[in-house]
Amino acid sequence: MLPAPVEEKLQETEKRLAEVQEQLADPELFSEPSRLRLLSRECGSLAKVVDQYKRYRELLETIADNREISENAEEEAELRELALEEIEQLSPELELTEQELMDRILVEDKDGGRNVIVEIRAGAGGDEAALFAGDLFRMYGRFAEKQGWKIEVIDGSGTDLGGFKEIIFSVAGDEVHRHLRYEMGGHRVQRVPQTETSGRIHTSAATVAVMGEPEEVEVEVKEADLRVDFFRASGPGGQKVNRTSSAVRLTHMPTGLVVSIQDETSQHKNRAKAMRVLRSRIYDHIETQRQEQEQSLRRGQIGSGDRSQRIRTYNFPQNRVTDHRIGQNFNLEKVVKEGDLGGLVAGLRSQERELRLKEL
């Protein structure tokens, strides 16, 4: 059975879904595309939870009816046996549905249905750190492919060896933030670099930031608050790759946040991409401040967004990935080369669910 606080939140979710559906039925909403997208996304996210809750109650009722039949001595033996068989068939689904509902309510992620913008930056380790940043980017690409998500590179600063000093990309699809939010933090790699001739194992690092991508209506960026600079783009080693000033730097004066994009040859396209990243950083900035005001929530949240936290070590010689938050090891070949992050995400979500249960 679901704990009473979880049942209460599920009932609140049902009420909220009805409110959103009523708003979506308003014909005037079609004149506000951004708000329409926002409500449609929320409706889809809420509907998944409500559908699961309905199925959970159906299963409870069916199993209770069958149990009553199986325990009724006046019923025929064959009917009692059929009732027991159905209980056996439905019980695993009930348990799975209950766990999923607990997961969605206890491991609360208000941005769960959002697309995200991911920023990977090479840390200590020079060229090897940049190569590792590239490995992480490809790992997320394979994971996204498995999930049926779409990746779009927004900007990148490559190196001569094929790595990235920095790469920014968006991920769009079903419940992207719900899965990728656990990737926020410091990633460390231990291996023999391609540039190492003596065979010594080096330790390098990269940081990953995962930010929900807000709609324009959610984060207003006033032109008066922006400083816009244009400059020439450059490639690996500082070589000029563009003779015109197509690269764009946006500075948001109220927060001091700065975004530079040079991926496109068009000034207009670079500005549009920079605005997407800037909105996400502003939204992330606001959410970080909100979470810092709710310290008790932040302490009980796995992957709450602390970018300074070292979350994972990738040990190539031992073919092992260790997630330090849950203290579990995973097969490096499957995680990095195949993008199999499912076990990692499940383990992190399970631990967060257990922490939340203790708080009830």
Instruction: List, for residues 12-61, the tens digit of each pLDDT value.
Output: 999 999 999 999 999 999 888 888 988 998 898 899 999 999 999 999 99
Q: Are 219 and 287 in contact (CB under 8 A)?
A: no
Cα 78 from Cα 93, distance rounded (Å) = 24
Label residues 124-158 b or e (16+ Cβ within 10 Å = b).
Answer: ebebbbbbbbbbbbebbbbbbeebebebeebbbbb
Cα 121 from Cα 262, distance rounded (Å) = 16
**∠ at Cα 302 (300, 306), nearest 5°?**
100
| Residue entry with tokens 């019980």 | 91
Per-residue pLDDT for 73 more than 80? no
The values of phi and psi at residue 315, to 5°, are: -100, 100
**Which domains are seen in the chain, by residue range?**
4-106 (1.20.58), 116-215+296-359 (3.30.70.1660), 223-291 (3.30.160.20)
Predicted model pTM: 0.80
3-state secondary structure 229-284: EEECCECHHHCECCCCCCEEEEEECCCCEEEEECCCCCHHHHHHHHHHHHHHHHHH
Residue 67 pLDDT grade (very low, low, confident, very high; cuts 50, 70, 90): very high
What is the reported pLDDT for 253? 94
Q: Is 31 left (phi over 0), alpha (psi -120 to 50) or beta?
A: alpha
Cα 216 from Cα 283, distance rounded (Å) = 11
Per-residue CA distances from 132 to 5, 32, 193, 252 (Å): 43, 43, 10, 31
- Range of lowest pLDDT (162-171, 206-215, 282-291, 332-341): 282-291
Q: Taking the CA atoms of 63, 65, 67 and 70 in sequence, report the sign of the dihedral they define.
A: negative
Give 335-351 as a DSSP string: IIIT---HHHHHHHHHH
- Range of lowest pLDDT (30-34, 64-68, 82-86, 137-141): 30-34
DSSP run (H or E) holding 211: strand 202-212
Cα 82 from Cα 103, distance rounded (Å) = 32
* Chain mean position to CA 79: 48
Per-residue pLDDT for 182 more than 90? yes
The token pair at 1 is: 């059975």
Question: Tens of pLDDT along 243-264?
Answer: 567 889 999 999 999 999 988 8
Give 122-188 as a DSSP string: E-TTHHHHHHHHHHHHHHHHHHHHHHT-EEEEEEEEE-TTS-EEEEEEEEESTTHHHHHGGG-EEEE
Angle formed by the axes of helices 77-106 and 342-359, nearest 10°: 90
**∠ at Cα 292 (289, 298), nearest 5°?**
130
Q: Are 290 and 303 in contact (CB under 8 A)?
A: no
What one-letter code names the amino acid at 116? V
Cα 258 from Cα 249, distance rounded (Å) = 7
DSSP label of 333: I
